[in-house]
């Protein structure tokens, strides 16, 4: 019995060694700027990411497509390195947090997001990312850095062509006609607001807010004076102008009831309210101007007191879309130009390649 158990253990060890050896098999070698191998394990990892996102196993042909993409990615990155293109980690961190903030709909730091996920889901950011995309934070940032370097190289090679891509007048007008109902102004007001956070001394904040308002009412301090002072370090208050649509969510964001916000649309321009207290600060505001709701024509500005017209906005948006579409085509063109026998050596082909790519099938 002991001999049988020992034999089974040895069988498992041998089987594990075979799988490990397969993972280390080199599928291709990319050598545009240096020699880089693509192993079965690397391909498995990348396929695993796509399978995680797709929620299914990849077919043999799809694995070959991923292998081709891996070779092209390494070629482009090597070409970028040879051309002196680099991306600092700070830029990668910035792009990473922009993606994360967009996914949660809030402006947070990486630590704040991690703490929020632990509190809400009992999982770290590492764990959530691994579950969703198959990479932890460090792996995802490394992947993102590679993509950014490759994209910058493609842009450098196809800059003139990309810049030449633009929306036509016909496309702009067609886009407007098909989305006309979305180009509207809600009823809006422009206000000037001063906010004094309570901090650790609510009484001092109240005195400061009332003092600022008194000087503002007496015209000892103008709107611009208050904005300038607020921007100085240690000012202890905030001041600025903003456009506020007549909507519930905007009232809530300003710690106001919708009824109070609506009331501002009935007073005369120049009206200044008393200092009001919220849970976190003291504040007052002046109604500077009202804007009535209306349907926007192509020649109208997208937002009051700006210069960007609806026509310009659509043109910019469509042009960016077309340039991004062209960028994908350009990326493939650049990859095709680099994907030559002298730069790529396929170590496994035909039936040998199919056998190594048959995992999970």
Look at strands 238-245 and 276-277 and give their pairing.
Answer: unpaired
Whole-angstrom Cα distance, residue 61 to residue 139? 26
The size of the chain, in residues, is 361
Identify the pLDDT of residue 53. Answer: 82
Of the ranges 41-55, 157-171, 281-295, which one carries the lowest mean pLDDT score? 41-55
The per-residue DSSP string of 322-344 comes to HHHHHHHHHHHHHHHHH--TTTE
Q: Quick check: 5 pLDDT over 80?
A: no
Q: For 138-193, how does the pLDDT look when each residue is reduced to its tens digit (9 = 90+)? A: 999 999 999 999 999 999 999 899 889 999 999 999 999 999 999 999 999 999 99
pLDDT class for 104, splitting at 50, 70, 90? confident
Identify the pLDDT of residue 302. Answer: 92
| Mean pLDDT rounded to a whole number for the chain | 89
3 state SS of 1:
coil
Which residue, among 20, 53, 34, 213, has the nearest Cα to 133 in the 3D structure? 53
pLDDT class for 15, splitting at 50, 70, 90? very low
Q: Quick check: 30 pLDDT over 50?
A: yes
**Alpha helix (H) residue ranges in the chain:** 2-24, 40-54, 60-82, 89-104, 110-121, 125-133, 137-157, 159-164, 169-178, 202-217, 223-230, 248-253, 258-264, 310-338, 350-356
Identify the pLDDT of residue 7. Answer: 54
Identify the pLDDT of residue 2. Answer: 46
- Residue 27, number of CB atoms within 10 A of its CB: 21
Identify the pLDDT of residue 13. Answer: 46
Of the ranges 48-57, 168-177, 200-209, 340-349, which one carries the lowest mean pLDDT score? 48-57
What pTM was computed for the model? Answer: 0.64
pLDDT class for 105, splitting at 50, 70, 90? confident
pLDDT class for 23, splitting at 50, 70, 90? confident
**How much is the average pLDDT of 351-360?**
88
Identify the pLDDT of residue 6. Answer: 52
Q: Quick check: 17 pLDDT over 60?
A: no
Look at strands 188-197 and 281-291 and give their pairing.
Answer: antiparallel
Identify the pLDDT of residue 253. Answer: 83
Give percent of the chain with pLDDT exceeding 90. Answer: 75
Identify the pLDDT of residue 359. Answer: 83
Identify the pLDDT of residue 55. Answer: 86
């Amino acid at each position: 019995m002991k001999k049988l158990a020992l034999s089974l253990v040895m069988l498992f060890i041998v089987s594990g060694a075979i799988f490990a050896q397969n993972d280390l098999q080199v599928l291709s070698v990319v050598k545009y700027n240096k020699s880089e191998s693509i192993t079965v394990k690397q391909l498995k990892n990348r396929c695993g990411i796509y399978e995680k996102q797709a929620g299914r196993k990849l077919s043999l042909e799809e694995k070959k497509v991923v292998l081709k993409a891996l070779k092209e990615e390494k070629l482009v990155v090597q070409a970028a390195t040879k051309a002196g293109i680099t991306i600092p980690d700070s830029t990668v961190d910035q792009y990473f947090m922009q993606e994360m903030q967009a996914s949660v709909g809030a402006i947070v730091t990486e630590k704040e997001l991690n703490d929020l996920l632990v509190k809400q889901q009992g999982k770290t950011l590492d764990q959530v990312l691994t579950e969703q995309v198959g990479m932890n934070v460090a792996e995802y940032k490394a992947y993102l850095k590679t993509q950014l370097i490759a994209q910058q190289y493609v842009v450098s090679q196809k800059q003139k062509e990309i810049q030449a891509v633009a929306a036509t007048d016909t496309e702009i007008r067609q886009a407007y006609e098909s989305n006309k109902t979305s180009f509207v102004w809600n009823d809006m007001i422009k206000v000037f607001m001063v906010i004094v956070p309570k901090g650790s001394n609510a009484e001092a904040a109240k005195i400061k807010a009332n003092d600022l308002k008194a000087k503002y009412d007496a015209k000892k301090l103008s709107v611009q004076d208050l904005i300038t002072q607020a921007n100085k370090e240690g000012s202890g208050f905030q001041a600025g102008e903003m456009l506020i649509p007549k909507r519930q969510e905007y009232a809530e964001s300003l710690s106001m009831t919708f009824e109070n916000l609506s009331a501002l649309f009935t007073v005369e321009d120049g009206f200044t309210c008393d200092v009001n207290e919220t849970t976190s600060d003291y504040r007052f505001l002046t109604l500077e101007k009202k804007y009535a709701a209306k349907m926007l024509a192509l020649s109208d500005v997208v937002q009051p007191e700006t210069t960007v017209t609806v026509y310009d906005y659509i043109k910019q948006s469509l042009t960016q879309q077309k340039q991004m579409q062209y960028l994908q085509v350009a990326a493939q063109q650049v990859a095709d130009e680099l994907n030559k026998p002298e730069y790529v050596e396929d170590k496994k082909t035909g039936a040998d390649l199919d056998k190594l790519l048959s995992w999970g099938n």
